[in-house]
Copies of this chain bind each other. A is one copy, B any other.
Amino acid sequence: MQLTYHTDYALRILIYMMSHPGQKVTTREMAEFYGISLNHLAKVAKALTKAGWLTTSRGTGGGLQLAAHTAHTKVGEIVRYTESRDLVECFTPSTNTCPITKGCQLKPLLFKAQRAFFDVLDAHTVKDLAAEMQL
C-alpha cells in the first residue's frame, strides 16, 4: 500500500507553508529544501491552488500562501483529493470486471478498512501537522 508522490508532496508543501506563517514561499524554495523535483512539486502546488488551499501571486515578491481555511482542513480531505486511485478495481463500478462483486465479502471489508484509515486522518487538521515545527 503506497500513497502517490502527489499526496506525499502535497502534505510536505502544506507542512512547509504552515511552518512559514504569513510568508510567501516559492516552489523552488520548497523543492530545494526537500531535495525533490521542482517540476513535480510545482505540479502538485498547482493542484492545491486549483483546489483552493493555496493562493498564488506573480511577479517580484510573489509566491504561494495558504488560504485562510487551509489550516483547519482535515488531513483526510487533502489525501482524498490527491489520491485519485481506488483501492481495488471493484470500487469503480463503471470499469470493474470482477465477476464476484455481487455478494463478495472482501469488498465491504476493504471499504471498512479504507474508512478506518481516513477516520484517523480526519481527526487531524493541516495545522496539527506542523505543530511545534520550525523548518
A:2-32 near B, CB below 8 Å: 2-3, 8, 11-12, 15
Asked if A93 is at the interface (CB within 8 A of a chain B CB), the reply is no
The 8 Å CB contact of A15, one of B33, B100, B129, is B100
Q: Contacts A1-B1, A8-B88; is A112 near B120 (CB within 8 Å)?
A: yes
Copies of this chain assembled into the complex: 2
A-B contact pairs, 23 of them (CB 8 A): A1-B2, A1-B79, A1-B114, A2-B87, A2-B88, A3-B87, A3-B88, A11-B106, A33-B99, A36-B97, A75-B106, A103-B133, A105-B128, A105-B129, A105-B130, A105-B131, A105-B133, A109-B120, A109-B124, A109-B129, A116-B116, A116-B117, A117-B117
